[in-house]
Structure 1
């Protein structure tokens, strides 16, 4: 064995290794990139569709959160297991099965008659998306030689960040000119192209791998994430002291503890706990959570603000996200040389500081402002997310031994999904609390009659948290106007509060980034599956 920097690199190929394929890796990248594209797009494309779904299918705030969270939860619970499936049946096979399944689930959502079917389809997208993402990264490691692997990883991270940020823009264009259903149906032709190219150029496996599945770990990981996420979503509606919420959160924590114990005893654990002994890997995963927390959490509420408070069309709302997408691509693509010279620590610290400033700038946003008033915070936030997304990949993979690269990659991708879950769940809870705290005062300040104020229920407050004014046909015109103003005031207070929370979390991330080591990705022998 030889050691380079922080990387332990095998001097000879592992027993299951196969020679690098003769396929041009950049041609194969087409199939991989298209697969990653549809998965990343659908992580955020629903943000711009949320107000339309609420109107068309009668979705509540909790329902809208589940449409986003069930997708992220399904991926988070199965990403590492997806890597095990790739070990057993071949990366190419499992990747292509994911492509087919994701396309089918997208078609089902596009034809859905109810919110329940949409949520079910999103569950399928998440499960099949896990097969795509984990095995896409493994295929990249097998296809690209050491000298070009960092570029491929940088492109991979850039694609995830850029497509996640571009989701609302594409969704807005499709929704405005067609229907919200086409925001999902668009995945089908992309999946078909990825499937055809993948069948032609991705390398076939040559050997059988009998690596056992850690089914106990997979079940316990899902059993931990599901109740915690559900509890976080329900808490704003029923209260944080509600017995059901407390029970769900406690059950998730207990299952998480059982997962750790199971991994210690497993012959071939889902996530080798030795990975967490390296502070750069642990911190890299944590910083990934914080970064995606900021991206998904901010998009969820800012897009509600644009459409419900500003009255923007879906396409106009999507265009507001364009500066974030462009900045994300610029930061992701340019961070490679910084990492090469100085390691991932400087861009991680800088990225977290940019994110914190971006969040703080959002607190100065007012209703019906100019395009530039939102372009600046979106640009700054995009720079921050782009730097962190690329650097966190390098921090995790660059400090993992080659033998642990697969689980490390799965852990990194799982961190992305957990961050998205927390972004909508935690900031959703903050939003609901802040709106409930300010709505009554806003109604009183705007001379809403006491009788109307007294009739406002918890359901009305939840509507305000979506930017919807709770009206009834019996209200006088002046009362309607006053309620609109009160809703706008309460919603903006809630949104600004969530942005301050995001800024604080990002500052914490900047401090944590100081602990990252220099580690770089160094490629030894690659296993082609």
Structure 2
């Protein structure tokens, strides 16, 4: 029996010996924790109108209530993933679930926007402790023959988790206030921690070397300032002083990371990894996929609520087909990769997402839900293909000892892609919406400003005006919304097309595995306790 087979058998015996449910139990526990993190990114979007009323939050405050979580998660997930590699991935995950749950419970009782933003940031710190351990525990404990399937299922839940979060939030908001979302999240955090304790082994890196503090600090600063600049640039303008300062700090931090990483024997994330075709292709695919997904949620939810007049719950239900398509597609993707190759599955997936966005971009104000559903299904199939292949390409480029960093890199790419997607789609949508509005000269100045600010305010103004004039304004706002949505979707579809072309040229024909990377790097086997 080979060393790899002995290590895998040892891990399996350890799992069964502690009364766990084997690999199925590990997968269940890790996907449960994953849903907790991903759902919290999207769920609060449905509660923003209630928060604006209850806490008197303005647009800037609402942005940071939603994105304070994302900034903390994106900035810290990479160094915390490396910490999990050293002291135990399950240990860090459980601590993160406790931090997340307590912060979520505190957020439910926040009485000001400032306090809610603070607790959302603390929730993001907890999420950064949870997220890397979910994927790295799967890749470190599953034997090679089952690892790709485990990653595929994880990827499916990573994509579907946002829909699950919005669906749960919509159901809660139908009966209770926004506080119920945080209370349920806190309880779910406790369940996720308990599942990890009972069902998952505590994997960690076997070797010991000095922790790369400079790499941890520089990547945290680089990612944090990048996401901050994207959010603030979209909100206040790309040439404002805070945005320019953050951009400069981000560039400086990246330079420090690259120079120090090339000279360090054991860097946090080796800059040379970006020279590996699989790692680079995986990062691009994951980035563009989540750029498209969360950018689409930004305009797609508004389309369902403002144009089709759906309630928050019905709007969330209307997105269920994405999750219904993503899950089986993700499960089938490893088989497709083995038949046609990694490169072609990546390319087809990106093209399907782009095709779904282009299809939806051609809708009109009176198109209804069925044509929208066709675009959802196309995009959902593409998401299932790209999520699994992109993640597998990233984690396969690092050894099993480094799966915490591999998982964290995958998560960082996701979060930055999400922030970029919302910023790009939001910026294009806002500019095109405003430029396609009808003449507002006859409206009172305050009403005209409200119409320019958002389609929701425009439709409220049209309803208040009433009569033929109100109906005409409402029709004009809807048409301007459709024009803005179409332009935003086409913009991201072009980015996906460019990424697909790049993958067709540069992506590897066959995937590498963590065992291949282990052989190349000369790392010893992972340890499970």
Q: Is the 8 A contact 1:360 1:503 kept in 2?
A: yes
Report the equivalent of 1:452: 444
* Per-residue Cα deviation, 1:184-205 (whole angstroms, up to 9, x for no partner): 3222332222222332333357
Return the match for 1:158 from 156, 159, 182: 156
What is the rounded CA distance, in whole Å, between the counterparts of 1:377 and 1:208 in structure 2? 47
Report the equivalent of 1:408: 406
What is the rounded CA distance, in whole Å, between the counterparts of 2:412 and 2:82 in structure 1? 14
* Per-residue Cα deviation, 1:400-453 (whole angstroms, up to 9, x for no partner): 3445444333211211111111111222222222223223xx1x2xxx444636
Report the equivalent of 1:463: 454
Report the equivalent of 2:507: 516
What is the rounded CA distance, in whole Å, between the counterparts of 2:355 and 2:4 in structure 1? 43
* Per-residue Cα deviation, 1:182-237 (whole angstroms, up to 9, x for no partner): 23322233222222233233335799975433333233223223333333333345
What is the rounded CA distance, in whole Å, between the counterparts of 1:145 and 1:472 in structure 2? 61
What is the rounded CA distance, in whole Å, between the counterparts of 1:508 and 1:67 in structure 2? 33
Q: Is the 8 A contact 2:86 2:204 kept in 1?
A: no
Q: Following TM superposition, by how much is the alpha carbon of 1:392 offset from its aligned partner in structure 2, in angstroms?
A: 0.7
Report the equivalent of 1:6: none
Matches within 5 A, 1:350-361: 350-361=348-359
Output the TM-score relative to the length of structure 1.
0.87
Structure 1 gaps of 5+ residues are: 3-8
Mark the CA change 1:215 to 1:472 in structure 2 (over 3 Å): closer, same or farther. Answer: farther
* Per-residue Cα deviation, 1:438-493 (whole angstroms, up to 9, x for no partner): 23xx1x2xxx4446369844x753334x6655749996866554443333232222
What is the rounded CA distance, in whole Å, between the counterparts of 1:150 and 1:310 in structure 2? 40
Report the equivalent of 2:527: 527
Provide the secondary structure at the position in 2 that maps to 1:148.
Answer: helix
Q: Following TM superposition, by how much is the alpha carbon of 1:130 offset from its aligned partner in structure 2, in angstroms?
A: 1.7
Return the match for 1:496 from 473, 486, 501: 486
Report the equivalent of 1:507: 497
Moved more, 240-249 or 297-306: 240-249
Q: Is the 8 A contact 2:346 2:385 kept in 1?
A: yes
What is the rounded CA distance, in whole Å, between the counterparts of 1:248 and 1:207 in structure 2? 34
Moved more, 95-104 or 44-53: 44-53
Provide the secondary structure at the position in 1 that maps to 2:95.
Answer: helix
Report the equivalent of 2:475: 485
Greater share of helix: 2
Q: Report whether the alignment pairs 1:258 with 2:256.
A: yes
Return the match for 1:221 from 219, 228, 237: 219
Q: Following TM superposition, by how much is the alpha carbon of 1:326 offset from its aligned partner in structure 2, in angstroms?
A: 0.8
Structure 2 gaps of 5+ residues are: 17-21, 519-524
Q: Is the 8 A contact 2:135 2:407 kept in 1?
A: yes
* Per-residue Cα deviation, 1:472-521 (whole angstroms, up to 9, x for no partner): 99968665544433332322221111111121111112112212111242
* Per-residue Cα deviation, 1:57-110 (whole angstroms, up to 9, x for no partner): 344444443334332222221122122221332222111111111222222233
Report the equivalent of 2:15: 22
Mark the CA change 1:309 to 1:467 in structure 2 (over 3 Å): closer, same or farther. Answer: farther
What is the rounded CA distance, in whole Å, between the counterparts of 1:254 and 1:513 in structure 2? 29
* Per-residue Cα deviation, 1:22-55 (whole angstroms, up to 9, x for no partner): 3322223332221111112112222333344344
Mark the CA change 1:472 to 1:324 in structure 2 (over 3 Å): closer, same or farther. Answer: closer
Q: Higher RCO, 1 or 2 (CA under 8 Å, sep at least 6)?
A: 1
Q: Following TM superposition, by how much is the alpha carbon of 1:285 offset from its aligned partner in structure 2, in angstroms?
A: 0.4
Provide the secondary structure at the position in 1 that maps to 2:145.
Answer: coil
* Per-residue Cα deviation, 1:368-402 (whole angstroms, up to 9, x for no partner): 54331221111111111111000111222234344
Provide the secondary structure at the position in 2 that maps to 1:21.
Answer: helix
Q: Is the 8 A contact 2:85 2:401 kept in 1?
A: no
Matches within 5 A, 1:116-515: 116-204=114-202, 210-367=208-365, 369-439=367-437, 442=438, 444=439, 448-450=440-442, 452=444, 456-457=448-449, 461-464=452-455, 468-469=458-459, 471=461, 480-514=470-504, 515=506
Q: Is the 8 A contact 1:236 1:432 kept in 2?
A: no
What is the rounded CA distance, in whole Å, between the counterparts of 1:36 and 1:75 in structure 2? 13
What is the rounded CA distance, in whole Å, between the counterparts of 1:473 and 1:368 in structure 2? 18
Q: Is the 8 A contact 2:229 2:246 kept in 1?
A: yes
What is the rounded CA distance, in whole Å, between the counterparts of 1:218 and 1:206 in structure 2? 18
Moved more, 185-194 or 330-339: 185-194
Q: Following TM superposition, by how much is the alpha carbon of 1:151 offset from its aligned partner in structure 2, in angstroms?
A: 1.8
Q: Is the 8 A contact 1:220 1:255 kept in 2?
A: yes
- Let me know the Cα RMSD of the aligned residues: 3.1
Output the TM-score relative to the length of structure 2.
0.87
Q: Is the 8 A contact 1:44 1:164 kept in 2?
A: yes
Q: Is the 8 A contact 2:35 2:158 kept in 1?
A: yes
Q: Is the 8 A contact 2:26 2:199 kept in 1?
A: yes
- Matched residue count: 512
Mark the CA change 1:455 to 1:204 in structure 2 (over 3 Å): closer, same or farther. Answer: closer
What is the rounded CA distance, in whole Å, between the counterparts of 1:207 and 1:451 in structure 2? 65
Mark the CA change 1:245 to 1:27 in structure 2 (over 3 Å): closer, same or farther. Answer: closer
